[in-house]
């Protein structure tokens, strides 16, 4: 008989199954929040994700850049951007050197919605701030993300542990080192998304 991580009756003695089940339950919290936000803003989960992406990563200012980041096709993202543009949440500006390319920016209304959508994550962050051993928890999450990335489950993440500048040291005080910043890193200093990331 197979044991499945999503079967809570098969968890006895299997911490790894409990972790996977907990992650699935946590992802459900975000899905429910997006569903509730859809009722308020009449936007799809993808459209909401694009708004928050443009708000907090404005350097991803083209359809191609957003599509690459979200690991979607240009056509899928372009359709979502078209709706956001029609709703006057996103503006398109032609590139001065290449008229075929357009830069994307949020309007004031788009920015307001993106920030309101993000308040939910801040609330979860307040709960996370009460957890003991937060740095070790972050470290474990990064290790799991790295394994998932290496095995093709998630796209490339610009995180410390897969960066060319990152060194793992056998040092009790600061087990990690960033060669770009030329300084040691404690587990709490590890980044999930770094703008200076370089693939290893």
Domains of the chain, CATH where assigned: 43-128 (1.10.10.10), 134-189 (no CATH)
pTM for this predicted structure: 0.83
Band of residue 85 on the pLDDT scale cut at 50, 70, 90 = very high
Band of residue 171 on the pLDDT scale cut at 50, 70, 90 = low
| Residue 115 contacts residue 55 (beta carbons within 8 Å) | yes
- Reported as a single tens digit per residue, the pLDDT across 181-199 is 999 998 999 999 998 899 8
Residue with tokens 């997006």: 34
Alpha carbons within 13 A on the beta-carbon side of 187: 14
Alpha helices, H only, 58-198: 63-70, 74-86, 108-128, 134-150
Provide the 8-state DSSP code for 182: T
Q: What distance in Å separates the CA atoms of residue 187 and residue 173, rounded to the nearest whole number?
A: 10
Provide the 8-state DSSP code for 93: E
Helix (H, G, I), strand (E, B) or coil at 167: strand
């Amino acid at each position: 008989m197979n044991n499945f991580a999503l079967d809570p009756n098969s968890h006895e003695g299997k911490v790894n199954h409990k972790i996977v089940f907990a992650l699935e339950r946590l992802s459900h919290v975000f899905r429910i929040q997006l569903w509730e936000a859809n009722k308020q803003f009449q936007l799809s989960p993808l459209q909401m994700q694009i708004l928050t992406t443009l708000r907090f990563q404005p350097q991803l200012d083209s359809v191609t850049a957003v599509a690459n980041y979200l690991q979607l096709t240009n056509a899928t993202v372009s359709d979502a951007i078209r709706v956001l543009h029609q709703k006057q949440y996103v503006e398109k500006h032609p590139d001065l050197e290449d008229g075929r390319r357009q830069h994307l920016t949020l309007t004031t209304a788009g920015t307001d919605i993106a920030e309101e959508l993000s308040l939910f994550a801040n609330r979860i962050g307040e709960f996370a701030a009460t957890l003991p051993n937060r740095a070790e928890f972050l470290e474990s999450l990064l290790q799991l993300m790295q394994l998932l990335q290496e095995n093709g489950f998630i796209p490339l993440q610009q995180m410390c542990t897969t960066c060319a500048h990152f060194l793992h040291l056998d040092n009790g005080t600061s087990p990690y080192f960033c060669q770009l910043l030329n300084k040691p890193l404690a587990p709490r200093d590890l980044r999930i998304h770094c703008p200076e990331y370089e693939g290893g």
